[in-house]
A and B are shown apart, each in its own frame.
Chain A
């Protein structure tokens, strides 16, 4: 018989104790950041029972098993309530994979290198902006707070660089599933581009694009289909000041031109049938200080997709679906036991009529990436739940490279409207229309997607 030195209750007690005391020190056996810096893995930081699903469930669920209605009770504590209900009642299934222990597989390679290289160099300045402590200039790359102590630090890192690349393009397909019959009611295809002029770790000039050092991000979302929405696009230009709303420009096919939109228009559905807002992006779609009351409300293990989800067997990386009344509601998803997540809540302080009152976000302590989000309506009732899957894009002999290393990114996202049962599914695909390709660190995306001239070009055929 194997003696477990630190049993499940030990970890649980430590998470509860630290959380109650307002202490955030990731890792159970030793500081997680230290373990990663020393060994590149997380094994020293957590006991065995947090490093495998077998260990956590005492063998009731084994790695490789599928979680469904028959066994979901064993992992109820590892799920937010919405996924639990979907597994129990709507036929959702999750395949289990081993917990990723190699930290280099949990973010883009260069981002992790910069995180390690720049550890301890970040601070908040008097305005609350993340700066390089040495000179007060904008941040220089990687996660500024790899050993976070507060919810604000977690959100600051998330807001600074969503996709963890200097530039990212995501060709995506979006499906809106009706809660009434489980059928796809609307589907869209489009492209999302985000580009960092600061904190650059790959693109020259580094760490800043000097002419644009006052900006945090350029970001565009453009819809390519259906025809009636083709060319609909929105360009957000983020100021580096974390309290300033982004400038918002949009190309609406009906108007045939680029128009300026109010910067506060961040809680509006972009296209019919969708309940996704700009504010939802990466669980941190708004400037850091337009939200507030960041507070850590919990810690503990969690089930989420961090590996094994990229589908190179489909020529366009499209994932399979299952579940729901019509078998179309959920992505085929692989999940792993995350030893520790940090649960942070925040409120939309500068949006007086936002339809949501707060959000609760789960961060993976290993890489500080968002692995789940639950938003609440103005009455405080659960409103929408977001879960997704990341991956390092290599599987067997198939690889999609980002420079010298495999591409790391999100694979798919599921947003569930708890109140209506409607579900939005997003899938990052390889390419749309031959020219809109998912990938990272292509400097040309600035002119292709992120200027007003680019919006006019994207609206070309709707002209």
Chain B
């Protein structure tokens, strides 16, 4: 029923857009109805991103770096089966094999990463001189051009994937839906399905009481704070919606269609000629990541994620974020100061119980059958194990399958198949391979119950993991919970306009912005339940100006930015989880994460053509370059083409820089817009 309603909404939206596009021009000029002035406008845009290298997203099944690699596995006697007389890796047992992922997970090719049709309708209604209503309806349709993986295709192995939400993990990629456990409609003004998304990024009433110095906006909205472009030092009120083209759209467009709208009350008041105060309170709305096996997914799909937004009650209307900002401008000087108390919308991840009751491999004579049998032979803890629990002789559950359901691992295909893959993906996800395993063992007694024990080094971990994967009959999938925590952001900013006799230096605008967040909660690099709590500061300096290089061309916009963070990278991954590789567990980085941005826009005469360039340089060896050409063909037609070049392996360990995560995303994007 609900699906039918959503389809009807999508169909009605498309029809409304077509009606507006094809309607009389006078309708677009606005009209008066019942004393209210109504204005409607919008655009249709086709967006296509084509890979220029054929590189695949390593976070997805098809792009897995082990997809076509054959890796040897050897099983060992678990210490817990030997009353801890041996360590992991001391005593091989006569089970060894080789495994290649693509023998289980079929390959697929994708040259087109992204193709959507976007339509937006904007409506403004002036109800009175003091009250208006503004809305923007955004509708997006993505056909099945990106076919990465179908969960059904592995149903013949290990009983298939049964954990997690079926819409995300059991079938074809779900391009658009934001799915959390316990709430079928987590975003109040969004209706989405596998291929479509319809929502209101703007849907608010604006009231201007008194003398007009104050404006109050009530409804769904986005709030942008700060002067830095791309760097979100002060831009903290909203999370990001990364479902569509991640952060790979036009760089200088910034996050204009990425900030997740949230129901809010915002009050902006011009206290004096030079002082602005801006306050808001919002229903907490999380950052939305791309779904598993969609083109720009960032969470490796060997993980199954349980988003606890609803289960932890954070989707309730009384779970709010709020903030206050003052902004003063005195011509050459300016300042900002603000404080925000919010739920960090990005969330943090930890191991969580899979809830999947599935035994190890039950084939006769297999490693898994030995584990299942040995487990069954143990004494039930409640019956025969008084006193201290001894996992060698006691068991907590009725079967190994039940034990595994209380662990963060699911016996299932399309997970991690080898210790090499575990190390590699821990490193690329900025997690600690060894500590991550140990944290799972520590935090989940069920794992100890299933003969797992902490390891001391990489050799022991390799032995433990390969034994476990062989016991599983292929691979194990890891289950993560995504949770959200409150934090306080304290922010300061200052601006200065340089006046100089030197033509180039004259009118350089400097903006220095700082954010300090005490006790920020991060994903622990070992995914432990305790997370990682530490103070973080972010400093950014933005220098921009318009400069005329020639008499014939309009001024060139130039922007140069530096950002430094002391605890995490640009997207919030703790630096402690960096510097891992396929052969070693992450040891962490000392010092800060530092980034440089350079961007420019050069309009041609009359602005009919514009050339943009944006770049991001990670000092630890990654670079992103984006040249763009924009052609304003006519008043209502615009064509844009931009190329994204990403190299996360300039030098050093690729897992030490931000950009190796999207190293695959060399692509040309073409956007054709029809405005109305």
Mark A residues whose CB is within 8 Å of B: 176, 184-187, 211-212, 224-228, 230, 237, 239, 247, 249, 253-257, 259-265, 267-269, 271-275, 352-355, 377-378, 422, 432-435, 444, 447-448, 451-454, 456-457, 460-463
User: Top 10 closest A-B pairs, CB basis?
Assistant: A434-B37, A447-B212, A262-B507, A353-B548, A256-B224, A186-B635, A272-B632, A227-B41, A453-B270, A461-B134
Tell me whether B229 is interfacial, beta carbon within 8 Å.
yes
> Do B555 and A267 have beta carbons less than 8 Å apart?
yes
> Do A422 and B606 have beta carbons less than 8 Å apart?
yes
Residues 624-645 of B at the A interface (beta carbon under 8 Å): 632, 634-636, 638
By a CB distance below 8 angstroms, the chain A residues around B329 are: 247, 249, 260, 452
> Do B259 and A263 have beta carbons less than 8 Å apart?
no
> Do A453 and B273 have beta carbons less than 8 Å apart?
no
Tell me whether B283 is interfacial, beta carbon within 8 Å.
no
User: In the complex, what's the smallest C-beta–C-beta distance from B336 to chain A, in angstroms?
Assistant: 11
Looking across the interface, which residue of chain B has its beta carbon closest to that of A244? B331
Looking across the interface, which residue of chain B has its beta carbon closest to that of A446? B212
By a CB distance below 8 angstroms, the chain A residues around B256 are: 253-256
User: In the complex, what's the smallest C-beta–C-beta distance from B31 to chain A, in angstroms?
Assistant: 9
User: In the complex, what's the smallest C-beta–C-beta distance from B30 to chain A, in angstroms?
Assistant: 5
- 26 chain-A/chain-B pairs, Cβ below 8 angstroms: A184-B635, A227-B43, A247-B331, A254-B252, A257-B227, A260-B509, A262-B507, A263-B497, A263-B507, A264-B546, A268-B546, A269-B606, A269-B607, A272-B632, A274-B606, A353-B551, A422-B606, A433-B30, A434-B30, A451-B276, A452-B270, A453-B269, A461-B122, A461-B124, A461-B135, A461-B202
Q: A227-B676, A265-B507, A275-B606 are in contact. List 18 more A-B contacts (CB 8 A).
A: A184-B635, A186-B634, A227-B41, A228-B673, A256-B224, A257-B224, A269-B605, A269-B607, A433-B124, A433-B126, A434-B32, A444-B211, A451-B270, A453-B214, A456-B215, A456-B268, A460-B132, A460-B134
Tell me whether B195 is interfacial, beta carbon within 8 Å.
no
Tell me whether B7 is interfacial, beta carbon within 8 Å.
no
By a CB distance below 8 angstroms, the chain A residues around B635 are: 176, 184-187, 226, 273
Tell me whether B318 is interfacial, beta carbon within 8 Å.
no
By a CB distance below 8 angstroms, the chain A residues around B32 are: 434
> Do B551 and A453 have beta carbons less than 8 Å apart?
no
> Do B555 and A265 have beta carbons less than 8 Å apart?
yes
User: In the complex, what's the smallest C-beta–C-beta distance from B443 to chain A, in angstroms?
Assistant: 41
User: In the complex, what's the smallest C-beta–C-beta distance from B239 to chain A, in angstroms?
Assistant: 15
As a 0/1 sequence over residues 195 to 233 of chain B, the CB contacts with chain A under 8 angstroms (1 = contact) are 000000010101010011111010001111111010000
Pick from B41, B503, B552: contact of A225, CB under 8 Å: B41
Tell me whether B545 is interfacial, beta carbon within 8 Å.
yes
> Do A261 and B546 have beta carbons less than 8 Å apart?
yes
By a CB distance below 8 angstroms, the chain A residues around B82 are: none
Complex Cα–Cα for A44 and B248 (A): 72
**Given A256-B259, A272-B607: A355 in contact with B551 (beta carbons within 8 A):** yes
Pick from B211, B497, B632: contact of A186, CB under 8 Å: B632
Looking across the interface, which residue of chain B has its beta carbon closest to that of A264? B507
> Do B551 and A378 have beta carbons less than 8 Å apart?
yes
Tell me whether B554 is interfacial, beta carbon within 8 Å.
yes
Tell which of A176, A260, A454 has the most Cβ of chain B within 10 Å: A260
Complex Cα–Cα for A453 and B210 (A): 14
> Do A185 and B253 have beta carbons less than 8 Å apart?
no
Tell me whether B479 is interfacial, beta carbon within 8 Å.
no
> Do B327 and A452 have beta carbons less than 8 Å apart?
yes
Tell me whether B487 is interfacial, beta carbon within 8 Å.
no
Tell which of A269, A274, A377 has the most Cβ of chain B within 10 Å: A269
Pick from A212, A255, A262: contact of B273, CB under 8 Å: A212
By a CB distance below 8 angstroms, the chain B residues around A263 are: 497, 507
User: In the complex, what's the smallest C-beta–C-beta distance from A251 to chain B, in angstroms?
Assistant: 10
Looking across the interface, which residue of chain A has its beta carbon closest to that of B208? A457
Pick from B123, B269, B546: contact of A265, CB under 8 Å: B546
Complex Cα–Cα for A262 and B268 (A): 25
User: In the complex, what's the smallest C-beta–C-beta distance from A287 to chain B, in angstroms?
Assistant: 13
Complex Cα–Cα for A265 and B601 (A): 14
Residues 123-160 of B at the A interface (beta carbon under 8 Å): 123-124, 126, 129, 132, 134-136
Tell which of A184, A274, A378, A435 has the most Cβ of chain B within 10 Å: A435
> Do A227 and B120 have beta carbons less than 8 Å apart?
yes
Looking across the interface, which residue of chain B has its beta carbon closest to that of A261? B546
Complex Cα–Cα for A461 and B203 (A): 9
User: In the complex, what's the smallest C-beta–C-beta distance from A66 to chain B, in angstroms?
Assistant: 30
> Do B225 and A257 have beta carbons less than 8 Å apart?
yes
> Do A257 and B41 have beta carbons less than 8 Å apart?
no
Complex Cα–Cα for A256 and B673 (A): 20
Tell me whether B506 is interfacial, beta carbon within 8 Å.
yes
> Do B208 and A260 have beta carbons less than 8 Å apart?
no
By a CB distance below 8 angstroms, the chain A residues around B334 are: 260
> Do B548 and A267 have beta carbons less than 8 Å apart?
yes
Tell me whether B254 is interfacial, beta carbon within 8 Å.
yes
Tell which of A184, A254, A378, A432 has the most Cβ of chain B within 10 Å: A254
User: In the complex, what's the smallest C-beta–C-beta distance from A382 to chain B, in angstroms?
Assistant: 15
**Given A254-B253, A254-B254, A452-B329: A274 in contact with B607 (beta carbons within 8 A):** yes
Tell me whether B63 is interfacial, beta carbon within 8 Å.
no
By a CB distance below 8 angstroms, the chain A residues around B675 are: 226-228
Tell me whether B167 is interfacial, beta carbon within 8 Å.
no
User: In the complex, what's the smallest C-beta–C-beta distance from B16 to chain A, in angstroms?
Assistant: 15
> Do A454 and B507 have beta carbons less than 8 Å apart?
no
Complex Cα–Cα for A237 and B36 (A): 33
**Given A353-B551, A434-B32: A463 in contact with B221 (beta carbons within 8 A):** yes
> Do A273 and B632 have beta carbons less than 8 Å apart?
yes
Tell me whether B39 is interfacial, beta carbon within 8 Å.
yes
By a CB distance below 8 angstroms, the chain A residues around B259 are: 256
Tell me whether B445 is interfacial, beta carbon within 8 Å.
no
Looking across the interface, which residue of chain A has its beta carbon closest to that of B135? A461
By a CB distance below 8 angstroms, the chain A residues around B122 are: 227, 230, 461-462
Looking across the interface, which residue of chain B has its beta carbon closest to that of A211? B273
By a CB distance below 8 angstroms, the chain B residues around A353 are: 503, 548-551
**Given A257-B226, A454-B270, A461-B134: A269 in contact with B551 (beta carbons within 8 A):** no
Pick from A271, A274, A447: contact of B270, CB under 8 Å: A447
By a CB distance below 8 angstroms, the chain B residues around A264 are: 506-507, 546
Complex Cα–Cα for A247 and B496 (A): 12
User: In the complex, what's the smallest C-beta–C-beta distance from B459 to chain A, in angstroms?
Assistant: 52
By a CB distance below 8 angstroms, the chain B residues around A265 are: 507, 546, 555
By a CB distance below 8 angstroms, the chain A residues around B126 are: 433-435
**Given A256-B256, A273-B606: A453 in contact with B215 (beta carbons within 8 A):** yes
Complex Cα–Cα for A352 and B635 (A): 32
Pick from A184, A257, A262: contact of B497, CB under 8 Å: A262
Complex Cα–Cα for A353 and B554 (A): 10
User: In the complex, what's the smallest C-beta–C-beta distance from B558 to chain A, in angstroms?
Assistant: 10
**Given A377-B551, A433-B37, A460-B132: A453 in contact with B276 (beta carbons within 8 A):** yes
By a CB distance below 8 angstroms, the chain B residues around A433 are: 30, 37, 39, 124, 126
> Do B229 and A255 have beta carbons less than 8 Å apart?
yes
> Do B607 and A260 have beta carbons less than 8 Å apart?
no
Looking across the interface, which residue of chain B has its beta carbon closest to that of A271? B607
User: In the complex, what's the smallest C-beta–C-beta distance from A443 to chain B, in angstroms?
Assistant: 9
By a CB distance below 8 angstroms, the chain A residues around B276 are: 451-453
